[in-house]
Structure 1
Amino acid sequence: MSKHKTVSFDNEPLILVDGEDNVTGYETKVNAHLGDGLLHRAFSIFLFTENDEVLLQQRSGKKPLWPLYWSNSCCSHPRRGETYEQAVHRRLREELAVDADLKFLYRFQYQALFGDSGAERELCSVFVGKVPAPVRIDVNPSEIAAWRWMPSADVDRLIAEAPDRVTPWFVMEWQRLRNEFRAEIDALRPRGMISAA
């Protein structure tokens, strides 16, 4: 029997927001992603090592949107009554069984359709952290099919050569990290990585 718990639920309420991140209501996760999607609060996390590697995850094949696509280290939604700070650390523990110091970099709005299956329409806050290498993680198989630490230059190549294998938000976020935030990422100190088990 797996020690990992199921941490995502179709009926969990997502926080609906306007473009300024003001709460406008709540909707179940499944309904918020139907059709063109409803704008909701979300976050993405990128974990780097001091060797300029970044943790990528391959999304579980059971995900209704972008199953088995490669994406950033961790991403999800804050829950009702939860701050961003609480949400990002909770999700790191749930998906990777680790925690780390994280820095908020920026927030952006996007919409991406996945055929007729639904859409992501998010106001997404992007966080980064740096951890010492080598790092031992323990992925939650209900969320993650595979994972790897990849040099940043190889991530550039993956996105350029296999855009159909990566999630659209990851591509948008990575390009902005590389173009606008290299100095902030380089300045991060590797610390705070602990086992959450």
Structure 2
Amino acid sequence: MGNAPARPAAVVSFEDEALILVDHEDREIGHLSKAAAHHGNGRLHRAFSLFVFDPRGHLLLQKRAAGKRLWPGYWSNTCCSHPRRGESIDAAIHRRLHEELRLQCPLAFLFKFRYQAQFDERGAENELCSVFAGRSGDPPALNLNEISELRYVAPDVLDQEIQARPQDFTPWFKIEWSRIRRDHAELLTRL
């Protein structure tokens, strides 16, 4: 699906947008620019990851655009981002899914987890991330500022790819996919 329709590359992510800093219990403790929240080892902030499956149960994967500051060119889950200052997680997940892929679908909460992943000496992810899943039969239209390529993949094939080439995938995606496969096996039939 690398030839999914692209649309004019709207800028939807800004280094100065205010992210929500949280403690380990997901209580809001302040705000910080996206650039500063990802600088060095990163500051713990609220984030989300979305997993959208097609009617056959195949997961829509994205390859992160080459211009992304962290993990450019890596394969990852359908969509991930951050709620902005004053924005609910529910509003943020639907906003971002539409901004990146022009998709709309119901999204069910699966779990929340904390992780820190260092990309290089200048930047890292340090997130308390809520994971959601949904199903859509609509064709995505990728935003080239965020995504360079899309493809649908069957879960068993994805398991094999991650096993064979873990270095091709973002760290948060590997953690989330492992937990989905372990704790949410019914997901593909339930959505």
TM-score, normalised via structure 1 length: 0.91
Measure, in 2, the Cα distance between the counterparts of 1:22 and 1:185.
32
Answer yes or no: is the 8 Å Cα contact 1:64–1:117 preserved in 2: no
| 1:88-132 alpha-carbon deviations (Å, 9 max, x no partner) | 000011000111110001100000001223100000000000123
Identity percentage of aligned residues? 48
Match of 2:147 among 144, 166, 169: 144
Match of 2:166 among 158, 163, 166: 163
Q: Match for residue 44 of structure 2?
A: 39
Q: Match for residue 172 of structure 1?
A: 175
| 1:6-31 alpha-carbon deviations (Å, 9 max, x no partner) | 00000001100001110011000011
Answer yes or no: is the 8 Å Cα contact 1:48–1:55 preserved in 2: yes
Q: Match for residue 24 of structure 2?
A: 19
Measure, in 1, the Cα distance between the counterparts of 2:72 and 2:117.
14
Q: Match for residue 193 of structure 1?
A: none
Q: Match for residue 48 of structure 1?
A: 53
How far has the Cα of 1:68 moved from its partner?
0.3
Amino acid at match of 1:74: C
Measure, in 2, the Cα distance between the counterparts of 1:31 and 1:14.
10
Answer yes or no: is the 8 Å Cα contact 2:38–2:125 preserved in 1: yes
Measure, in 1, the Cα distance between the counterparts of 2:187 and 2:77.
18
Q: Match for residue 103 of structure 2?
A: 98
Q: Match for residue 76 of structure 2?
A: 71
How far has the Cα of 1:162 moved from its partner?
0.7
How far has the Cα of 1:3 moved from its partner?
3.0
Q: Match for residue 8 of structure 2?
A: 3
How far has the Cα of 1:159 moved from its partner?
0.9
Measure, in 2, the Cα distance between the counterparts of 1:117 and 1:186.
42
Measure, in 2, the Cα distance between the counterparts of 1:149 and 1:8.
24
RMSD: 1.0
| 1:150-191 alpha-carbon deviations (Å, 9 max, x no partner) | 111111011111111100000000000001011144211xxx
Q: Which runs of 5 or more structure 1 residues have no equivalent in the other structure?
A: 189-197
Q: Which runs of 5 or more structure 2 residues have no equivalent in the other structure?
A: 1-6
Q: Kindly report structure 1 stretches of 4+ aligned residues shifted beyond 3 Å.
A: none
